[in-house]
């Protein structure tokens, strides 16, 4: 299979607890419900690409446990090429412990498991996938040296390289930026990367301009209910968010990235692809869970 989009990143099993509010340090709260659902930013984005009309392959690792089998199967049934998902003996699969409160905010603890063993050599073994792709997507839930190698290789091959810098807690290495065509942080990630506090469109623009100065090709800052801001060397453009009643924001950003990439490989122009990703993300937040919340192409009105 020759996939137009290749996602290099994480696969996690999400263990989700819903409660009226998030617990404070040392506090035990009664919860409302619990469920397990396939997740991980890489896998979520691969599912989003597949459901929203793009052909996609995933490069990543799972552990040799039941979760690993479930994670691989969840992608397979969506039509994701899983030939480059390897099993790491003796370690767990990645796990995300997620608590969601009544206002749909969440807090997450991630155990890397097999994701932490995804090396540059692991990705290099599947270089033929990178060569055949149009778009390569990375996130920050696998080792930094692997992300760095993949960004550089994608740039060397002349592919469109998207880095979703999540989760970001500080600046990116300076030599990454020149290899990134689209850098796609949310507000807090944009602040961590640029040093500019992002509270509105104007501060998002300043953060985006700072990231351009550092060498990123283009920056798309997602602003939740305030929409998204595209910042390029030619200027900036705001995309208002569709108005919805949110239930669970888990995987909204992943849905946007997958929708944006799927839109590009389906031939949409840049602005159309951003708006398409926004519509997909808006629908996803009206549903619970990570991958189960990601919509299908047929659900989005033209």
**Which sequence positions are flagged as catalytic?**
254
Longest Cα pair distance anywhere in the chain, in angstroms? 52
β-strand partners of 106: 100
Considering Cα of 191, then 142, then 81, then 152, what sign does the dihedral take?
positive
For the chain, the 3-state helix, strand and coil shares in percent, each to the nearest 5, are 40, 25, 35
Contact 150, 125 (CB under 8 A): no
C-alpha to C-alpha distance for 295 and 280, rounded to whole angstroms = 6
Strand order in the sheet with 160-163: 81-88, 56-63, 5-8, 135-138, 160-163, 182-183, 218-222, 228-232, 235-239
For 150, residues 6+ apart whose C-beta sits below 8 A from its C-beta are: 8, 120, 123, 130, 136, 138
Distance of CA 5 to the CA centre of its chain: 13
User: Which stretches of the chain are DSSP H helices?
Assistant: 41-51, 66-77, 120-124, 127-132, 144-156, 187-194, 201-213, 252-265, 270-284
Provide Rg for the chain, Cα atoms. 18
Contact 42, 270 (CB under 8 A): no
What's phi and psi for 258, nearest 5 deg?
Answer: -65, -40
């Amino acid at each position: 299979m020759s996939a137009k989009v290749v996602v290099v990143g994480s696969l996690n099993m999400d263990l989700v607890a819903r409660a009226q509010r998030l617990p404070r340090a040392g506090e035990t709260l009664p919860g409302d419900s619990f469920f397990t659902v396939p997740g991980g930013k890489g896998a979520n984005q691969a599912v989003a690409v597949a459901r929203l009309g793009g052909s996609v392959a995933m490069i990543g690792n799972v552990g040799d446990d039941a979760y690993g089998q479930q994670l691989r199967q969840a992608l397979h049934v969506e039509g994701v090429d899983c030939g480059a998902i390897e099993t790491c003996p003796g370690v767990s699969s990645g796990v995300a412990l997620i608590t969601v409160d009544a206002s749909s905010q969440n807090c997450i603890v991630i155990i890397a498991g097999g994701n932490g063993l995804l090396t540059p050599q692991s990705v290099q073994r599947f270089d033929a996938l990178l060569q055949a792709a149009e778009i390569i997507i990375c996130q920050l839930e696998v080792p930094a040296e692997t992300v760095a190698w993949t960004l550089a290789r994608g740039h060397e091959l002349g592919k469109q390289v998207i880095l979703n810098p999540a989760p970001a807690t500080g600046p990116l290495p300076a030599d990454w930026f020149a290899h990134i065509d689209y850098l796609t942080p949310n507000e807090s990630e944009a602040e961590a990367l640029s040093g500019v506090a992002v509270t509105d469109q104007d501060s998002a623009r300043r953060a985006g301009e700072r990231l351009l100065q550092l060498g990123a090709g283009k920056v798309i800052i997602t602003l939740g209910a305030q929409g998204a801001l595209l910042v390029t060397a030619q200027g900036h453009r705001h995309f208002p968010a569709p108005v919805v009643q949110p239930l669970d924001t888990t995987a909204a950003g992943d849905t946007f990235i997958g929708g944006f990439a799927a839109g590009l490989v389906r031939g949409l122009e840049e602005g159309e692809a951003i708006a398409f990703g926004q519509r997909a993300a808006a629908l996803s937040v009206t549903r619970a869970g990570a991958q189960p919340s990601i919509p299908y192409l047929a659900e989005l009105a033209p």
